[in-house]
Amino acid sequence: MAKDLKTKARAGELVTAHGKVMTPVFMPVGTQASVKAMTPEDLYKVGTEVILGNAYHLYLRPGVELIASLGGLHEFMNWKSAILTDSGGFQIFSLARMRDITDEGVIFRSHLDGSKHFISPEDSIRIQRSLGSDILMVFDECIPHPANYEYAENSMKLTINWAKRCLEEYQTNKKEGTALFAIIQGSTYKDLRTQCTEELLKLNFDGYALGGLMVGEPVETTYEIISHTAPGLPEDKPRYTMGIGLPEDIFRCVAEGVDMFDCVVPTRNARNGCLFTHKGKVIIKNSKYTKDPHPIDSDCECYTCQNFSRAYLRHLFMSGEILACILNSIHNLHFYIQLMKKIRQAIQKGEFFDYWQCFLATQNEHSMN
C-alpha cells in the first residue's frame, strides 16, 4: 500500500472473486441491475472495476429468486467484474412508503406497489448472497438529520446488534472470495461514532463503511465526522464513504484515508446535461455551445470526446435524444474513473496534495469563460 506524505491518502488494492480493484476507487451505481445508459462494454471501456447493485430494488423487482435462477446478478446483467451490493437499509428508510422497525428487522411497504414486506438482517445477507455479490454490506438503520441524541444512540445500538447477526449469517454459509463490510452509524455525535466503531472493530469485518452522512447535515459536519472516525479504522482494511460524491468531496475524503466511493452524480448529471472536466463543469444546453466544434474536453480520451462536438451534444440534449444520455454518461464516468486513476498515481508518487490543489485551482475555468 502506498501512502501520501502530506495527507492520510493511501493507494492499495482489493482482491475479489471477480478481479482486482485498485483503490481509491469510484463505483458507478447500477441500482436496478443497470448503470443507467451504459452497457457493460461501455463500463469496461471507461475502466470500471466494480459497480454497485442494490438489494432493496432487486428484491422488489424482478425478485431475488428470479435473478438467482438465471445464474445470479453477474450473469443476469452480463457483468464480469466485481459487484458491491447495498443491503437495502438506506433505501428502506428513504424510499419505502411505511416502515416499522423492531429488534427483529423492518416491516415496510414497497415504494412500487405498496405491498408489505419484512426483512431481517439475516434476510438481507441471504438476498445479497443469492444475488452473488462480491462485497456485501450489513443491514443498518440510516437515520435522517437531525436526530436527537437518544434516538441516534438507540439506533446505533440496533445497527451494532444487526451487524453481529449479519456476520453470523454471512459466516454460516460463507462463499469464498466474498467480503462483508460493516457500516458505522451514530449521526453527527462523535462519541457515538467512536463507540460504534469500537464495537464493530471487535467483530473484525472485511471492511468498514461510514453511513448516515450527506443526509442533510452541513457539509463541514460531514467532514468533521469523517476526520474523527477514519483514523480509528484498521490500516489494513478498506474504508468506504457511502453516497459520496462530487469530485471535490472525493479529494477531501481520499485525503482522510478513504478508499471507496459511490454516487449517482456522474450518471444523473450526465442525463441532465452537466458534464465534468478538469476545467470545471460544462452545461451542455448553454447557447454558447450551439456552434462549438470542440469536444467536451480536448484532453479527454473517452469515446464521446474522441468523436463528437459540443455542438452535436447540445443538439442531442435539446432534442431529448436518448443518445445524449448515453454519450454524456460515457464521458462523465470516464472522467470519474480517470480521476481516480490520477489520484492513485499521485498518491504513489507522493504528489496527491499538489494534484488536489491543482484540481481545485483549475475547476472554475469554464464558468469564467
Interface residues toward Zn ion, by CB under 5 A: 300, 302, 304-305, 331
Q: 299: which 3 cell numbers? A: 484532453
Minimum CB separation of residue 225 from Zn ion in Å reads 34
Residues 6+ apart with CB under 8 A from 156: 185, 186, 187, 192, 195, 196
Minimum CB separation of residue 270 from Zn ion in Å reads 11
- Check if 113 is active-site: no
Burial class (CB in 10 A: 0-12, 13-18, 19+), 299: exposed
User: Among residues 88 and 247, whose Cβ is nearest to Zn ion?
Assistant: 247
Minimum CB separation of residue 334 from Zn ion in Å reads 5
Of residues 42, 123, 140, 262, which has the active-site annotation? 262
Report strand pairing: 260-262 vs 25-27.
parallel
User: Among residues 84 and 302, whose Cβ is nearest to Zn ion?
Assistant: 302
User: Among residues 209 and 340, whose Cβ is nearest to Zn ion?
Assistant: 340
Q: 130: which 3 cell numbers? A: 443469492
Query: For residues 91 and 137, is the Cβ–Cβ distance under 8 A?
Result: no
- Check if 86 is active-site: yes
Of residues 4, 86, 140, 259, which has the active-site annotation? 86
Report strand pairing: 207-210 vs 239-241.
parallel
Minimum CB separation of residue 330 from Zn ion in Å reads 7
Q: Identify the bridge partners of residue 27 per DSSP, sorted by sequence position.
A: 262
User: Among residues 258 and 300, whose Cβ is nearest to Zn ion?
Assistant: 300
User: Among residues 10 and 314, whose Cβ is nearest to Zn ion?
Assistant: 314
Q: 332: which 3 cell numbers? A: 462523465
Query: For residues 316 and 324, is the Cβ–Cβ distance under 8 A?
Result: yes
Place of cell 461510514: 210
- The helix/strand/coil state of 336 is helix
How many Cα atoms occupy the beta-carbon half-sphere of 95 within 13 Å? 14
Minimum CB separation of residue 333 from Zn ion in Å reads 10
Q: Which residues are catalytic?
A: 86, 262
